[in-house]
Amino acid sequence: KIYALVVATSGAGYVLGSGSIVDIAGLCYTCTGTMMVAASANTLNQVFEIKNDAKMKRTMRRPLPSGRISPVHAAMWATSVGAAGTALLACKANGLAAGLAASNLILYAFVYTPLKQIHPVNTWVGAVVGAIPPLLGWAAAASEVSLNSMILPAALYYWQLPHFMALAYLCRDDYLAGGYRMLSFADPTGKRTAWVSLRNCLYMLPLGLFAYNWGLTSEWFSFEATLLTTGLAIGALSFVLHPTQKSARRMFHGSLLYLPALMAGLILHRLPNEQNEHNIHQTSEIAGVLPGAEESARQKWEDPKPSRAQSRPPVAYASVAPFPFLPVPVYVSPQAHEF
């Protein structure tokens, strides 16, 4: 499920960063490379957390704690698939996308993973990790990161906090048994956890308007995104007013519906990335592959005879500049001497 989410957000970022035509091959390469790097990061996470996963009902059946795969085998797989995925992105996309993928792997496996057992801030660090895949997809398509490329990453960052706050509240005892430090441990009433969820839902409210103002989508998306976010915020408000298992579960399920609906709206109402169109046009001009460029070059090669306008001396008007009171020189064309 994590792989599916990461690949979906990366693919959505690629589509949003494309021009009027989406490169399907590039999209497939980007999604494949992203999936491989995500598989590497998640495998390393499970290698480092074998003992913790064995103590939790939710994770004790995973391949490593159950003994179906050895840690050495898993580490070798993570290293090879991570390197291959990064190389694929570098070769088929660009260095920026590959760099984002490698950075996210390091952030997830070597910063977020150990932080889970140290401090509740791990949830916010994990939200940064989850926000990078759509930025990676955009970078793969547009070869740059711009202001409007931040809309989907920002939505994912803010969305993850109510999503995982609800999950941490529902699985509080399980996380405690696994040795993970979550905000819900120091919040027996659930009020702080619920307020964090509501606050981040409210942060998402203006994103639809920003997407429209920054030229990423049509005005319809701002309306739809506001409605969707308002619905999620109502669920978070219910969690604040009544912090119970039932309200937390309702908000958790609402967050699962929210994200695919938001991404579908973004793609449905997206506007082509003008900067990407400009870059493609400029690259085509440099390469000489614009429509008609080859034909024009061929005609010039076949007809080397200079035109009538070029037969005039290049300094026809140069003598006028120092002496504007003198008349413009008149040059007689070579053809006139024949008569």
Residue ranges covered by each domain of the chain: 1-145, 146-272
Quote the pLDDT of residue 299. 53
Quote the pLDDT of residue 57. 85
Q: What is the mean pLDDT of residues 7-29?
A: 94
Res. 274 pLDDT band, cuts 50 70 90: low
pLDDT at 81 over 70: yes
**CA quadruple 59, 63, 65, 68: dihedral sign:** positive
Quote the pLDDT of residue 58. 83
Quote the pLDDT of residue 177. 84
% of the chain residues with pLDDT over 90:
68
Quote the pLDDT of residue 297. 45
pLDDT at 226 over 90: yes
pLDDT at 136 over 80: yes
Q: Nearest to residue 195, comparing CAs of 269, 141, 251? A: 251
Q: Lowest-confidence range among 2-11, 157-166, 252-261, 321-330?
A: 321-330
Quote the pLDDT of residue 2. 76
Quote the pLDDT of residue 188. 84
Res. 275 pLDDT band, cuts 50 70 90: low
Residue that is written with structure tokens 């908000």 in the block? 251
Half-sphere exposure of residue 295, counting CA atoms within 13 Å on the CB side?
3
Tell the CATH superfamily of the 1-145 domain. UbiA prenyltransferase (1.10.357.140)
Produce one character per residue of 71-80: b if its CB has 16 or more CB atoms within 10 Å, e if not.
Answer: eeebeebbee
Query: Between 338 and 246, whose confidence is greater?
Result: 246
Quote the pLDDT of residue 279. 53
pTM: 0.79
H helix runs in the chain, sequence order:
2-17, 24-48, 50-54, 71-92, 95-107, 113-115, 122-142, 151-170, 172-178, 191-203, 207-213, 219-241, 245-268, 274-287, 293-302, 334-337
| 83 contacts 121 by C-beta, under 8 angstroms | no
pLDDT at 336 over 60: no
Rounded to an integer, what distance in angstroms lies between the CA atom of residue 106 and that of residue 111? 7
Rounded to an integer, what distance in angstroms lies between the CA atom of residue 316 and that of residue 322? 13
pLDDT digit string, tens, across residues 278-334: 555 554 445 554 454 445 545 544 554 444 444 444 444 444 444 444 454 544 455
Q: Nearest to residue 16, comparing CAs of 133, 127, 98, 129? A: 133
Q: What is the mean pLDDT of residues 206-217?
A: 94
pLDDT digit string, tens, across residues 174-191: 888 888 888 888 888 889
pLDDT digit string, tens, across residues 299-308: 544 554 444 4
Name the fold adopted by 146-272.
Four Helix Bundle (Hemerythrin (Met), subunit A) (1.20.120)
